[in-house]
Amino acid sequence: MLEHPSIQTKGKVYLVGAGPGDPDLLTVKAARTLGFADLVLHDALVSAEVLALVSPEAQVINVGKRCGKKSISQEEINALLVRYATAGKTVIRLKSGDPSIFGRVGEELDDLREAGIQVEIVPGITASLAAAARVQASLTDRRTADQLLFISAHRKTGKDTFDWRAVVTSRTTVVIYMPGEYAGVAEDLRRAGLSGSTPCAIVSRVSSPEERCHQTTLELLAKAPILPSPCVLIVGKTLAEAASTEIRSLRQQNIPPPRDFLHPSESAV
């Protein structure tokens, strides 16, 4: 149960998932917290439509990091959370997607716990789930995929190269956040043993008006168009019918399929 700030004697921090952008994909609990915040610290990727739900009395600060450019460091964000909560404020740290998936929530939790601040995590819909829904694919399937791997291609400087072979099998659905150049990913997955015919889907800015999708195979992934960030790359057998199913549905309605959403058997250029 959410506590209204009027009955709190100390400040509290809510680590809230803003979802992929469409305010309809917010949880009810997330929307409610936005209505009674004193302060909202939000990521750059949080949509204007979601921010419109913030209480008009609340102070709103953009603490986002985009394209490697940092307007504020993670340590400074942590300090702000502690400072305002210690002063008795109800603080929302609003993160795109889900806070616990590539959202640095662990670092914020550490500082808040050390300061004795009450904290609550409000989950959100992460981009991979929204992307899978967009292409009408199941991320797992008892017939073809019983393992799901979330990984970020954007890694901390100095971190060792990821050992794909140790975790990826033909029954793994791989979801890569911030995939960057696709050629390296494709090469790594091929070396790990995945077939070149393994289906792939790239979904950019899912649930937003600028959303774009492209479906290909692992063999042709290096030639796929680089779609705008943020995007996710999904690789796995469960995608085999995803695009073709949607294209068939569109054609039944006499609607031409989007140019950026074509099955590998069709021309994308």
Per-residue pLDDT band for 64 (boundaries 50, 70, 90) equals confident
Distance CA 252, CA 105 (A): 45
Distance CA 221, CA 203 (A): 13
- The predicted model gives 66-83 an average pLDDT of 82
Per-residue pLDDT band for 156 (boundaries 50, 70, 90) equals low
pLDDT at 205 over 60: yes
127-252 carries CATH number 3.30.950.10: yes
43 a catalytic residue: yes
- Per-residue model confidence (pLDDT) at position 269: 31
In this prediction, what percent of the chain has a pLDDT beyond 70? 81
- The predicted model gives 221-226 an average pLDDT of 94
In this prediction, what percent of the chain has a pLDDT beyond 90? 75
- Count of CB atoms situated within 10 Å of the CB of 96: 24
- Per-residue model confidence (pLDDT) at position 57: 95
Structural domain boundaries in the chain? 5-122, 127-252
Per-residue pLDDT band for 6 (boundaries 50, 70, 90) equals very low
Distance CA 124, CA 141 (A): 23
Distance CA 34, CA 50 (A): 9
- Per-residue model confidence (pLDDT) at position 222: 95
pLDDT at 147 over 90: yes
pLDDT at 264 over 50: no
Task: Work out the mean pLDDT of the chain and round it to a whole number.
Answer: 86
- Per-residue model confidence (pLDDT) at position 268: 38
CB 200 within 8 A of CB 215: yes
- Count of CB atoms situated within 10 Å of the CB of 73: 11
Q: At 217, give phi and psi (nearest 5°).
A: -125, 165
- Per-residue model confidence (pLDDT) at position 130: 97
**Secondary structure tally for the chain: helices H, strands E:** 7, 12
Using alpha carbons, list the distances in angstroms from residue 28 to 97, 155, 197: 15, 33, 40
- Per-residue model confidence (pLDDT) at position 162: 76
CB 144 within 8 A of CB 237: yes
**Closest C-alpha among 41, 15, 185 to residue 103:** 15
- Per-residue model confidence (pLDDT) at position 247: 44
- Per-residue model confidence (pLDDT) at position 181: 87
pLDDT at 256 over 70: no
- The predicted model gives 170-191 an average pLDDT of 94
- Per-residue model confidence (pLDDT) at position 1: 56
- Per-residue model confidence (pLDDT) at position 70: 57
- Per-residue model confidence as pLDDT tens digits over 10-45: 799 999 999 999 999 999 999 999 999 999 999 999
- What is the CATH code of the structural domain delimited by 5-122? 3.40.1010.10
65 a catalytic residue: yes
Q: Which residue has the higher pLDDT, 245 or 217?
A: 217
Task: Establish how many alpha carbons lie within 13 A of residue 243's alpha carbon, considering only the half-sphere containing its beta carbon.
Answer: 25
Q: Which of 65, 141, 188, 260 is catalytic?
A: 65
Per-residue pLDDT band for 97 (boundaries 50, 70, 90) equals very high
Q: Which of 12, 24, 38, 43 is catalytic?
A: 43
- Per-residue model confidence (pLDDT) at position 108: 97
* Residue whose token pair is 């943020």: 230
